[in-house]
Structure 1
């Protein structure tokens, strides 16, 4: 039974989402450098699928570790916390489940792009369109939560400091 914590507004959650994406550039840079160095990859297209799998694991470690502590850096900035439905911090298992379900932000449009062999610009439009649809679908959740949170048994809550 979910406790009644306030849900952050959709614009605030999406701003946090965008900020998280910017911060992930640093994670990708360091992980890509480490992968390239350890695998002695000279061309970016060599070992592409191995790099993608490596980044999937690195992102998983990053998010599971920080979500099990309650917040990523972007979430701290936007005063958003992730909890289970009882209001407790996530276990690592629950955080992993949330990580896997969160790929619903990207896997459907990436699958469509792959099946129809879409180019970069076309794929970008499909991905951004799906992201907008996925975000708007949260309006149909009883507590305005994202659907991957509902599937994972988690919730984003507003932890803004009280206003004077």
Structure 2
């Protein structure tokens, strides 16, 4: 049996499930950190493509940013199961069956499934010709419902974790 990586402390047999409030607080911190990641990715894209107008290559820019953000998350989750905000809030992502950090495929599946937090209500904007305030309201309502759905899960995990076969666990303070 392989031993855990030296920088990854072992997860207890029955780790505590962090509160939904704590996980959402980490999500807010993650959003602040992602602003810098997206800014640098956008700046790099604009420089390399010599983009002078925000609408030039906007579909390619969207794909580029999604790939960069995905690479950031997959890299962090497979290397110890934590991003910086997760370390701050003492959270760790583990594979549901093993309790170890997820592999690349499982981390990528979680990243893709996590888009369910935002894509369904945002898809309503062009489909139903909603105004921007109505789209923001639908997104906020969907976000709240998605977060509240974790209360229905026996393990108190979000749906995207259930779909990807991962779990968020609390890390004990040393």
Do both proteins adopt the same fold according to a TM-score greater than 0.5, normalized to the shorter chain?
A: yes
User: Structure 2 residue aligned with 1:115, among 97, 115, 127?
Assistant: 127
CA–CA distance in structure 1, aligned partners of residues 69 and 161 of structure 2:
17
Is 1:78 aligned with 2:89? yes
1:18 CA drift (Å): 0.8
2:29 paired residue number? 19
1:8 paired residue number? 18
Deviations 1:64-103 (CA, angstroms, capped at 9, x unpaired): 0001121001100100000001201111111011111111
Root-mean-square deviation (Å): 1.2
Structure 1 gaps of 5+ residues are none
**TM-score, scaled to structure 1:** 0.93
Deviations 1:37-60 (CA, angstroms, capped at 9, x unpaired): 111111112211111111110111
User: Structure 2 residue aligned with 1:47, among 52, 57, 61?
Assistant: 57
1:140 CA drift (Å): 0.4
Equivalent runs, 1:1-164 vs 2, <5 Å = 4-69=14-79, 70-85=81-96, 86-161=98-173
Q: Secondary structure at the match of 1:144?
A: coil
Residues paired across the two proteins, number? 160
Q: Secondary structure at the match of 1:88?
A: coil
1:112 CA drift (Å): 1.2
Structure 2 gaps of 5+ residues are 1-12
Is the deviation greater in 38-47 or in 74-83? 38-47
CA–CA distance in structure 2, aligned partners of residues 117 and 46 of structure 1:
24
Q: Secondary structure at the match of 2:129?
A: coil
**TM-score, scaled to structure 2:** 0.88
CA–CA distance in structure 2, aligned partners of residues 155 and 114 of structure 1:
34
CA–CA distance in structure 2, aligned partners of residues 5 and 160 of structure 1:
9
